[in-house]
A and B are shown apart, each in its own frame.
Chain A
Amino acid sequence: MTNAIEIRGLVKKYPGFQLGPLDLAVPRGAIYGLIGPNGAGKTTAIDLIFGMGRNDAGTIHVLGLDHRADEVALKRRAAYVSPDLNFTVWGKVGKAIRFVRGFYPGWDDAYCAELMKSFHLSDTDKIATLSFGAKTKLSLLLALSRRPEVLILDEPTTGLDAVSKQEVFGELLKAVEDGERTVLISSHGLSDIERFADHVGMIKNGKLLLEGRTDEVVDRFRMAEFFTENGTEFQNRDGLIVLKRNENRWHALLDQNSDAHNWLQTRGAKEINLTRLTLEDLFVALAKDEEAK
């Protein structure tokens, strides 16, 4: 499978923050969830794809196109959605559509009308008076109607109620059902990502902590609960992150791809009980460990 988005050694430095070096590969046709806390660098990475700021090092390729050398060609085939996109100055929804439509010869009017219906938007709606969620839907409508090959969404579910989230993800799934389109979605709504994304990348403090297929990533880790009898101390090591200790009772994150399980047994851990984690639990544990470092 070829990659729709390939980021290699990406670095962007700000005073007090550095993104990267970041390597990220989004397979073609995938829904890739980029998750991380506020200030992790998700928006910075996405901004750099669209030329909003210049990277200090590294390369970005989308559909094989270099983000700087092939800027215009890339933007014809990739679309960006975010609640931060401001179309208020256009006054009404219809005018914003006319404006954006002018940039894309392949604009799909029938699909646009269909999306208007499913998002409950109308040409005559004043953008300034739309709710926050409706503005996000407008942004998504403007992106989907151009039938992009790559869709990049930055926190699209922020401010959306449960029903609106379903509508947004429903349209996203429809858009990628042919397997040709790729979606990169950044969010801290981890339950949504776990449900909809088939690939996931975790970012914290500008660094990618983990990347892979969502089911494989979630399957790889377990919450290990165990006891000790003789006051043995456990520290973090490869494949093991100690999360909590209550006298002789321990909780730790265990990587099943490592030899951490055997190591615990040889060190005298008793009654090791492994339980499945949610993506959110996993993310919190990894983020705490990164914080401690």
Chain B
Amino acid sequence: MKRIILDYFKRWWLVLSAIFIAYFIFQAFSVRENNSQPSGGSVAIVRTVTNTVHNTFIFQAIMWLGFLLIWEMQRGVPRVLTSLPMTPKQIGRAWWLAAAAFPAITLGVLGVLAIQFFSNEKNIPFLMKNYLADWSAIALYLGAMFGAQTFGTPGMTGTLSGKTRTILSTLLIVIVLFGFIFNQLEAPTLAKLILFFFTSVILSVLGWFRAEQMVLQCASFRLVAQSSGKKSAQHKTPKGFGGLPYLIQRTIIQTTLISLAIIAWMTLVMLFFSVSNGQNHVQTITMTVNGGLTPCFFFVLLFSIVPMVFQLRALRTFPIPSSTLATTLVFLPILSIAAFGVIVITLAVSLAGQAVILQTINSFFVMGAKAAIMVVVIVWRGMNAVTYLLAFLLMVADSFISLGVTLVYHLGSNTPEHPWWIALTIFLLCVGMSLILTRRLLTQSSSAYRVRTMPANAWSMARR
């Protein structure tokens, strides 16, 4: 078990260290801020900084911490580990400790240390009480996320019960994730808090006992898949266009449908919250669009780029000029994001008025720029731990730039909206740079074509 845990940390040490260090610095900053007595405009600016750092980095980092195990499975680790002289129970429980318990304990210890070192021995009981509540939510989220993953199925099977199970298990992960997000977004009522607490505790405990099943399922995926019966050969001449136009059409339709499902789900949940908080539907939809666009755009980005990268070797053997391939790689996620943005604007404007338009356009330009950079990173690095770290940093980068702009030009005020022309300029620069670099990587480097993790070993695009 010890070796499995160490192996996990060895592979993710860079990501984990970055999160732990950032978390400690943030806690230290929060403790000092809580114990100081600022005056005048500095109160607002300190709050802006604290909230921005928390919402765009710390909170999201912890959120993604719950997903590290899924990425382990995507890399086919269960299959490798089950061939070692260990039982699946030992492997599963080692993962429970490595992915849920130890990170939670480490974060807890770091928070307590921050209070001890930076509180100047003032208000320690108060700070501890507040911190315990925050930390409990994090620990329960990590435990619940692990527990939810143990119900996951490694692939969509053909039977109705198999499909139902896959959908329900995915829904459970989404519920845990959104439960954590909404618990952070607003102060929950006592009833909701109790519900969150008990659900998380039950899932965390179940995770410990079901860890073995999770390992077995993920490791035996290919064997299960191959057991399907042989059918007689059937072939009909394909109708319609093929090649790159077919790739583009298929990717845009798939990503748009997935994103619409996500945003519809978020809207429903937000409407559920707004009923209890007395908000009207316009406020709710505007809030959902504002808050939900970035994660949705990010999903679009992943679902459009990753399948391209997995088949890059095949694409390179087709008669496509390298410049066309680079252009497709760069513009496919951008077009997917644009298609989704247009639908969101159309729906949201009719429901909530024109207030959402500027936000959506700005989000599109910013995410488009990020998508362009991400293409370069993925073609350059493949799908490894450093890529995930860079993706995360890229995702939160604009929030820190906004924070810098706020600090320099609008001291004490809320973070301003980006003027659209700044976002457009950044977008154009990033796209131009990405086109040049991607083409160069495609023609000069051979590392882009080395075989990467097969996504078929876990919850993945293969399911679609």
Contacts and interface: CB of A to CB of B under 8 A. Distances in A.
B91 to A, nearest CB: 24
A87 B314 contact: yes
A291 to B, nearest CB: 25
Given A84-B313, A100-B318, A125 B231 contact: yes
A1 B314 CA distance: 31
B233 A122 contact: yes
A120 interface: yes
Contact of A103 (B226, B243, B449, B454): B243
Interface string A202-224: 00000000000000000000000
Interface string B224-248: 0110101111111110111111110
Nearest to A125: B231
- Residue from A89, A104, A109, A119 with most neighbouring chain B CB atoms (10 Å): A89
Interface string A83-103: 011111111001101111111
Interface in B320-367: 320-322
Contacts of B464: 91
Contacts of A87: 311, 314
Contacts, number: 133
Interface stretch (B160-168, B192-200, B405-413, B440-448): B440-448
Interface string A6-43: 00000010000000000000000000000000000000
Given A52-B316, A101-B238, A102-B246, A128 B451 contact: no
B76 interface: no
- Residue from A12, A79, A103, A128 with most neighbouring chain B CB atoms (10 Å): A128
Interface string B446-464: 1011010011100001111
Contacts of A47: 446, 449
A131 interface: yes
Contacts of A99: 242-243, 246-247
B234 A124 contact: yes
Interface in A205-249: none
A112 B320 contact: no
Interface residues of A, number: 51
A76 B317 CA distance: 9
A90 B316 CA distance: 16
Interface in B115-174: 155
A133 B462 CA distance: 18
A61 to B, nearest CB: 17
Contact of A116 (B235, B245, B455): B235
Determine the interface band of chain B, counting residues with CB < 8 A from chain A.
Answer: 35 or more
Nearest to B317: A80
A73 B313 CA distance: 18
A113 interface: yes
B246 A103 contact: no
A278 interface: no
B273 to A, nearest CB: 36
B242 A98 contact: yes
Contacts of A101: 238, 242-243
B449 A86 contact: no
A123 B321 contact: no
A97 B228 contact: no
Contact of B246 (A51, A82, A98, A125): A98
Interface of B: 155, 225-226, 228, 230-238, 240-247, 250, 307, 310-311, 313-314, 316-322, 443-446, 448-449, 451, 454-456, 461-464
Interface of A: 12, 44, 47, 50-54, 71-73, 75-76, 79-80, 82, 84-91, 94-95, 97-104, 109, 112-113, 116-117, 119-129, 131
Nearest first, the 6 closest Cβ-Cβ pairs linking A and B are A102-B242, A53-B446, A102-B243, A98-B238, A128-B462, A89-B307
18 contacts: A51-B322, A53-B446, A72-B320, A84-B313, A85-B314, A88-B310, A88-B454, A89-B310, A89-B311, A90-B311, A98-B238, A102-B245, A103-B320, A119-B233, A120-B230, A125-B231, A127-B462, A131-B226
